[in-house]
Amino acid sequence: MNRIWSFAGLLVAFVFAVTFFGRPAHSDVETKSGRWEYRTETVEPTLLSQKLNEWGSDRWEVFAVERGDTVLQQDGTTKLKVSNFQVTARRPLK
């Protein structure tokens, strides 16, 4: 069980680092109209990296990643399990 928590912690740290330190605070994309299209999806933890790469290829700019936790009760102890991530992104309208 500790391996799962270690993996989940590393995954969250990676997503945080990529989201907040891998890009400038503002968008590099200039839009003539200043209009954007947005999307939000719920992503399984094991598919997060793949989904971020797909969206990056399609020029989506991820600006929010929220973790969805599930509370587990086992043997009198309470544990949190990362069950999904909610990812929100934008890109300029064409």
| Residue of 94 and 22 predicted with greater confidence | 94
pLDDT in tens, 39-73: 999 999 999 999 999 999 999 999 999 998 888 88
Q: What is the DSSP string of 45-60?
A: GGGHHHHHHHHHHTT-
Rounded Cα distance, 62 and 85, in Å? 12
pLDDT of residue 6: 64
Of 23 and 59, the structure prediction assigns the larger pLDDT to 59
Percent of the chain past pLDDT 70, that is, above it, reads 65
Least confident of 8-12, 23-27, 39-43: 23-27
